[in-house]
Every structure is written in structure tokens, then in C-alpha cells.
Structure 1
């Protein structure tokens, strides 16, 4: 008699899951981490070369597109059927290693089933899990199942900084339809069906210098900037009053301020660097324009003060309906792969917003590792067991969305 807790899997699902190779996942994760791709630095080429060779060795069709010198996006496709496919999305860059590691951040250590190295969690382990899942799906026919559409991995550069990789990808003419996109960022295998977006708004205020003994002769850019900060503070209070159940509300953060010429001089300049987190329906350019209008209405930019407001980075948010087949299929796939899961939202941002907004592909975020406790810190790590679970969940999701007898 079978254990009542065992998932009810089809013959094809059991066959494909048996092909998930832990050794292959560990080997590819290790090779990717040991090809450093720090950003800033523009060094993704070595890691993409490792990924390209791995995909080619498994029989996937691979294309690369150089977005900037030595910064190539990669698109790997498992061709199948003529119907809509399933997309996986990841990135090849990692944040700088930084100090306080207990070993070389670019030599992977396996400590009791925990892979330690920069990028193991965010997100080279996730990439390896996707590739091994695609390899297993390529043999679905051995178990009497054909895929009705292709399975594709899109790996972009520059996700950690300005998103030039995903911008390049979504600007290219679409060559296929997709039922959904799974962003393999570390969510601890929770199904994230919505993310806030992010934007940077930079403000330069120009005044007029004067001797501090006669401040009325000048126009203080710092005073004007302080008035703008107060506008932002008040707007944050307004936003907090209308929270969304899934994603909360948009947030302002004045992250940097710099200005002035000297203590005895009326400040002729001041600059603000602002992070504005976005709800899925918000446009940072419209937000910046509203800020400009409020500055004009308050007459901050008059009488010798000029203010320049510009958006220097944007990453859109997204939300996919809770009952969308991508969401429900992912929940079942994770559960049947042996992990507990839930459905929710993320306050962080990711490249999935571009895929959702610009390509119209429903998206979720689902991946191994914990972005809060493991990523972007010394001794970044991911459990091998979590990588295997992710690969199994990805393979099950692919079979259930695309599999046909």
C-alpha cells in the first residue's frame, strides 16, 4: 500500500522527476559561481559562456545577444509543438562579493549539503535548476507525453543594476507566445504572484551663492531641497493610507543628499537621490511629473531657484491573478515536489515586471533559496535539497502546462 502522503503523480511525471540529477545541478551551480560576474563591472560573459555550453550539451537551441560589450543575454529553448510555451527568466550577474567572507566567495564550498559562494542563491543555483529541469522535460516523450509548446530560458545581464538586459530582450520582436513566465529568483519556493516595481528619481536644485553673513543675497538650494523632502514625506503618508492586500503601497526613500559649497556660503546646489517603489499600475514618469507640478505650485522653483527632476531607472511591478493557471499549477507543482508553499506578493522588484508589462506574459516568481536571509551577504548559500526541489517543481509545472498524451 502506498503512503497516503505521497503525491498522486502520473507515469510521465514520475519518469521525468527521476531524471532530475542532483549531481548535475551541483556541478552547474558550481561552474556558474566560479565564473565571477559581478555587477557593477560588466563581467557576465564568463558565466554566460558556462551556461551556453551546458545548454548546448543538453541539446537545447541557444542564442546569445550582446547587449553591451562582453555583456550577452542568453536564450535557450527546448523546441516542442507549435502552441504557446512556458518561459523561465533569470539573470547572470551578481552583486559584488564584499568583505567578511570566511572563504573565497568564488570557490564553492559544499558544507553539509549547503553550497556557499556568491550567486549560489541569487541566482545561479536557480539557473542550474531550470536547465536540469529542461533537460528532464526533453525526454517527456520517453513516457508517452509530448509538449504542446516550447520551454525557454531567458538569462539577462545587468538585473542587479539598471536592467539593460531585460530591456533589450523585451524590445526584440516576439517569436513565440507563452502561457506564462516563471522568474527563478529566490523565494524559498513560495509562489510570488505579484511584485512592486522600483524607480530612481534624481533631483538637482540650483540656487545662488552668497556670503553667509548676508544670506538674503543668495538663494539656498539646500533650503529648497528640504522643502522638496517635505513634499515627499507628506506624499508617503498619503500612500500609506491606501494599502493593497497583496503588495502594500508605493514607498518613497530619500537615499542620498549632497550639496553646498562651504559652511560660510549660501548653498548654490543640492542633489537628492530618491528610491520610489511602484505599485503595478504606477508610472514613475507620471509620478515625477506630479512632483514637478507640486514643486511649481509651492513656488519652490522661483526667485533664483531651479529644479531638475528626472527618472534615471525604472523596473515595473506586476500582479497575476490568484486563480490564474500559472499560479495554481505552480502551487501544485511545488507541493508535489515535496515542499511547503504559499501564494503572496513581494516588496522587492525583479525583471518579471518587464515581461509582464511589455510582453503581456503572466508572471510569477518562484525559486530556491531565501532572498532575505541568504542573498546579497557574506557566505551566501543555498541548500542542495532546495535546488533539487526547484528543478522538480519546474519540471512538473512544464509537464502540467504543456504536456499532451
Structure 2
């Protein structure tokens, strides 16, 4: 869809005039400088920067320590009593890792981009949301009254186990919300559905014996291989019933550890498995079906035991293509002068919890490209895309919260 920067009311144009690309870029840079690598549990420094920016903009701000130095933040632009708009993000970033051509936590500006760990995933999106909300605080001066609040929710630990969003949904927000925009990097595509993710870990216990007479033992690695065959078969079956938006659920055996030595029948083996989830799929039900298949295949008999457990889950979601949150965001992007499209996302995000546990319709929309730029050396984001995202957030709020 081509955007032509048309169809803006006088009030909308007035609000958007308060969005400045340089301001977003500088806030992004400040957030990047506040390293918040995960693992590490150091999101507090980045949240301090975000909190100061939100308080300076006049928002109501609260924080809650999910763990030591790991605070969730909720910043609210108060408005009417009707349903509001939530913007969701996370403060943690993956470790910088090797291969950088400059210090990953000293932001560098070049070729219209900001370089540094977290610029794309997702401190640029957080900065765009703050500046959009700051612009919206001027709406009444242009005769535009918001019917509900706009709220930024920034959680910890999204890149690992999701303890931040799990804590947030159990506390439940005070307001009701017409929708949630997850400000993850989608290259300014309006993503109306995401697969979820889960980790399933399997421990197989056999019995050690001398390899010269393997029949005396029970080989845990051989049992693991049979389980991998079951997983491979199910993966192929899932692919035969792919969804047009999100494809299908997938299995990936990511780690395998086992054995005691080459001359010993392996007494133990461990499998670490990633199972991507379609919306409404329950990883615990999936694990139970796998246990049943293992029993039916007689893998866990005659001295072999198998333990299957879910160690992480992040639900998926899908929002209808004609939902006002989707259509309003699309018009906001295109009327703001940028091209966009509507699609699904192969990645998972915290939006699934908000959709499943709070019943809030969700989309994902933000600056940067998760595949080309995130989690890589010399991560960067286009400053022009930061501005476009902020304009889209502000316009969506103005139109959704009439």
C-alpha cells in the first residue's frame, strides 16, 4: 500500500507537528547507552532513562520490580474514561556478541541510521512511542479530545523467559483497552498475527553397561533418536495443514546432550526442543500428546524412562483483518506518507499474553527489520523509520480513541 501523506485533519496535522525525528533519535541513543543485556538482569538502567523521559513529558509513571534491578514500567497519558490504547515494549536486549565494528553501547550516527545494540530490537520503538504520546498530550490544543488513555507498558525479560509480561498480566491494568500495539520491529508492516513459542525439554534415563555387551544396558541415546523420529514426523504432518497467515506450528530439536563415554551404553540423554505455536495451541497439551506417542511406540519401556516437561511458553495470537485496530493503523501509516502491508510474523512476542490473558486485541508494528537488523553485529535502525512509527502511533490513537 502506498502512502501519500493525505487525509489528515487540521487537528491531526497539529499533533504530528510535535513529532521530531532528532528527538526520537536522541532518546533512542540514550536508551542504547543504558546497556540492558539479558541474560544479566540489568534492565533497571534503561528503565531509568525511559522513566525520566516519560515523567518529563508529563505522563503518570509507575514501576514495579519483578526481580532485583528488573522493573516493569507503566506510563500513562490520561484522557477520557473510555477504552484506551496500549503500546507494549521491552527494555532488555540480547548480548552484543562478537563482530561489531564499534562499541555496541556507544550509539553511532551514519547514513541516516543509528547503530548500537537495541536500536531495532527495540529501544527505537520505545522512543517512538514516548514521543508519539508526548505529541498526543497536545491534542486538546487542536480541539481533539481522546476518549481513553494511551499507555506505554515496558516489560523486562522478553528475550528470555518473559517474567515481566507474566507479572504484568497477573496484576491486570486499571483501564480497559481497545487495542494493543506491540512496538517490535516489523519494518513498518502491520502484523496482525504471530506464532507463539514454547520450550519442551525431555530427559531420558536408561541403564549403563559395557559397550562390548550392549544388550545388558538400555541406551538412552537410542531412545532419544526414536523420539526425534516422532517429532520429525509430526513436523511434516503440521506442514501439510499450513495456515495462509502464519504457516504452521514447527518443531526444532535445538540441543542434545547424553552419554557417559564411547565404551559405555548411554545411561542418560537430554533433548532441548523449540515448538512454535499457532494461536490457541497449548504447549502442555502438545507435550501430553508427545508423551502418549512415546508410550504407544514403546520407547519408555523395558528399563527406559522418559520425562517430558514444558519449560517456557509464549502464546501466539491473531487479530481479524477487518478489526478497527488493524484498519486504523494501516490508514495511519499510509496517510502519514509511508507504504505498508498487513501480514503475519514468524517470531513470537509479548503481545500473545496481552491477547490471551487480558483479552485485548493486538497487532505488532514498529521501526526496524527483525530479520535483517535485530540480534546481529552493527544493529541499526533508520531514523526516518523511527519518525514514521511515531507518526503512526499518534495517528492511530487519535483515530481509534475518538
Q: TM-score range by the shorter chain?
A: over 0.9
Q: How do 1:151-162 and structure 2 match up within 5 A? A: 151-162=150-161
TM-score (norm. length: structure 2): 0.99
Which residue pairs with 1:336 in the alignment? Answer: 335
Give 1:127's aligned residue.
126
In structure 1, the gaps of 5 or more residues are none
Q: Which residue of 2 aligns with 1:203?
A: 202
In the TM superposition, 1:175-324 aligns within 5 A as: 175-324=174-323
Task: Provide the rounded CA distance (Å) in 1 between the counterparts of 2:98 and 2:158.
Answer: 22
Superposed CA deviations along residues 166-208 of structure 1, whole A, max 9, x for unmatched, are 0000011331110000000000000000000000000000000
Q: 1:160 to 1:50 in 2, by over 3 A?
A: same
Q: How far, CA to CA, are the matches of 2:218 and 2:360 in structure 1? A: 50
CA displacement at 1:163 relative to structure 2: 0.4
Measure, in 2, the Cα distance between the counterparts of 1:58 and 1:43: 25
**Alignment RMSD (CA, Å):** 0.9
Aligned length: 400
Q: Structure 2: where are the runs of 5+ without partners?
A: none
Residue 51 (structure 2) pairs with residue 52 (structure 1): yes
Superposed displacement of residue 5, structure 1: 4.4
The answer to whether the Cα contact below 8 Å between 2:5 and 2:336 also exists between their aligned partners in 1 is no
Distance 2:356 2:345 in 1: 17
Tell me if structure 1 keeps the 8 A contact 2:202–2:270.
yes
Shift of 1:112: 2.3
Cα distance in 1 for residues equivalent to 2:138 and 2:16: 11
Query: Partners of 1:48 and 1:281 in 2: how far apart?
Result: 32
Cα deviation code 1:313-370 (max 9, x no counterpart): 0000000000000000010001111111000000110000000000000000000010
Tell me which residue corresponds to 1:109: 108
Q: Hey, which bits of structure 1, 4+ residues long, moved more than 2 A? A: none
Using the size of structure 1 for normalisation, the TM-score is: 0.98
User: Conserved in 1, the CA contact under 8 Å of 2:172 and 2:358?
Assistant: no
What's the CA shift string for 1:116-172, capped at 9, x where partnerless? 000000000000000000000011000001110000000000000000000000011
Secondary structure of the residue aligned to 2:311 is: strand
- Tell me, yes or no, if the aligned pair for 2:368 and 2:385 is still in contact at 8 Å: yes
Measured against aligned partners, the alpha-carbon deviations of 1:22-41 in whole angstroms (never above 9, x if no partner) come to 22211110100000000011
